[in-house]
Structure 1
Amino acid sequence: MSAVSTPPQADRPTVPAGRFSGLLRAEFQRFTARRFIRLLLLVAALVWVGALVVGLLNYSSPSPERLAAAEQQRQEQIEASIEGRADCLEQVLPEEGLTPEQLCGPPVRESDFSIDWFIDPPPFSFAENGAMGAASVGLLAAALAFLLGATFVGAEWSSRSMTNLLFWEPRRSRVLGAKAAVVAAAAVVLGVVAQVAWLVMAGTWQALVGDGRELPDGFWSEVVAPRAAACCWPCSPG
């Protein structure tokens, strides 16, 4: 009985993997084409406009008359605090191991009483709120970037388009690397845009309903340096 020889089967054809730059381009197009991502960015823009309007309605630049009245109330409050501390020092008997500052509080200083406390509605102070506002906007931008990234990757699995993508590029590490690169770049751009939007908003408030104060020394280094480091973190090696 002779053995029947069969020709060896040809290897299964594999889908040629494209260049990584082409994969990045495809992932970028997928990212920008997502309707939900566009909707989130539109909502963020509307929130910015709403916050700008709310600030213009809730802040107010004080007139000279309001400043004079606020300064008078401030001086009255300072004098009342000084008299109250003096009465405390005269009436309260010192206890063992306690200093006058612990019993009646530290000496009253005029710098402890901001004139903004006596102005209603208060003016916006870029010098006092600039750094804190930039930090808050940075946190909101980070949360939005996380939501965009989760939406982008999750939509690939829910729509089963990830399977088709792996047929085109079977190496998962390249696919995941391209997605991570696109999300990281989007996070950096979003962070920069958010900080610019905050500066525009704060500058508008300061110009229209601000207190007119000059910025202190080192203000911009305090505002810009931490935000620049945070924006560069997704792209830093390691």
Structure 2
Amino acid sequence: MSLYKAETRRLVKRRFTKLFTVGALLILVAVAAGVFLTNHKAGPDQIAEATAKAQADYKQSVAGTEQMKKDCAAVQGTSRANEFPPNCEIAAPSESDFNPDWYMPPTFNLKESFRDMVTTMAAVLALAAFVVGASYVGAEWNSGGMMNLLLWRPRRLQVLSTKLAALLVGATLLTVVVAALWTAAFYGIASARGTTAGMTSGVWQSIGLMELRALALVLTAGALGFGLASLGRHTAMALGVAIGVIVVFQFGVGAVLEIADAKFPELYLAPFWVIAWMNKQYIAENYNACNYDVTGSCQPDTLTMTWQMAGTGLIAILVLVVGAAMWTMRKRDIT
């Protein structure tokens, strides 16, 4: 049996891989079920009901305004007069203030909402890939399996890179299958509990490219978990770094930047780079430096974080971590 087949088999057969993968899939199933149950198809009955509610609230508001005017007129010349506007100038509500669309039940719009679902899928699968990748190689170091493997296959870099290749191929297959099922599931949800209007070929192409970026994010997360665990020769190394980055660096640095009134604190926080990568851009705004227009409205300074910027950052971190893991594999003692 080839080394790649052996590593693929070892990855797939591990109980931790199975359990964590199933757990991630159950989370996605729960998300899809929640979206299905909380959305409704907007038909003639729902439109009529929403219109009736809007009209009822409008009439109630008009009646309330008339009563307020009467109360105002009744207390003129008393100490309570200052409780009302001068001369009882109370504006009556407009019928346009009660839009029936605001009374419609939630409905799933595939064109407008599915991109958020792709990001959700990418986040869940990326987390699973990171933990599985870290555990996969970390367990080998911790149990002594790596040393035993190198006894009959002493090519260190080949062994480690083959393990990484098995992980990335497995993550690719899983992500592609899940993305296809995810897309089909939400198309069905939109058909039954929402709308698929506006799904042109261009929109589908945009969604396809977004799912490719989701795949890249999942593979990057898996490789980072693998590289960090290999560097520390223990699963806890990768998990510790992840916790440290999230708890200490992200929250700590975020709090310091807020106190210091940093211009664009999002630039130093990883979640916003992921958002920029998935959504093609993220616009950071600085309301502390308002540029007032002719209407007196605040126009904050902005900085656009593009997917190219985010991708460059992800590649740099990936090359640094995986490259360091390969270098230490070659230079450090195995014992």
Query: Shorter-chain TM-score: what band?
Result: 0.5 to 0.7
Query: CA shift at 1:119, angstroms?
Result: 1.5
1:59 aligns with 39
Cα distance in 2 for partners of 1:32, 1:145 equals 13
- The one-character-per-residue Cα deviations of 1:19-47 (angstroms, maximum 9, x if unpaired) are xx811111111101100101112222322
Cα distance in 2 for partners of 1:179, 1:189 equals 16
Cα distance in 1 for partners of 2:178, 2:196 equals 24
2:174 aligns with 190
Aligned residues: 181
Query: CA shift at 1:48, angstroms?
Result: 2.9
8 Å Cα contact 1:127-1:216 kept in structure 2: no
8 Å Cα contact 1:142-1:187 kept in structure 2: no
1:11 aligns with none
1:50 aligns with 30
Q: 1:47 is matched by which residue type in structure 2?
A: I
2:20 aligns with 40
1:100 aligns with none
Unaligned runs of 5+ in 1: 1-20, 81-109
Cα distance in 2 for partners of 1:149, 1:209 equals 37
Correspondent of 1:151 among 135, 141, 154: 135
TM-aligned CA distance change 1:219 to 1:212, over 3 Å: closer
**Aligned-pair RMSD on alpha carbons?**
3.0
- Normalised to the residue count of structure 1, the TM-score between the two structures is 0.65
Correspondent of 1:164 among 142, 148, 153: 148
Cα distance in 1 for partners of 2:126, 2:154 equals 31
TM-aligned CA distance change 1:212 to 1:69, over 3 Å: farther
Unaligned runs of 5+ in 2: 62-95, 221-314, 320-335
- The one-character-per-residue Cα deviations of 1:134-183 (angstroms, maximum 9, x if unpaired) are 12212222221111111111111122111111111111111111011111
- The one-character-per-residue Cα deviations of 1:177-214 (angstroms, maximum 9, x if unpaired) are 10111111122122212312321221221122113534
Correspondent of 2:115 among 131, 156, 178: 131
2:184 aligns with 200
Query: CA shift at 1:230, angstroms?
Result: 5.0
TM-aligned CA distance change 1:212 to 1:169, over 3 Å: closer
2:215 aligns with 231
Higher relative contact order (CA 8 A, sep 6+): 1
Query: CA shift at 1:223, angstroms?
Result: 0.6
Correspondent of 1:177 among 136, 153, 161: 161
**Structure with higher strand content:** 2
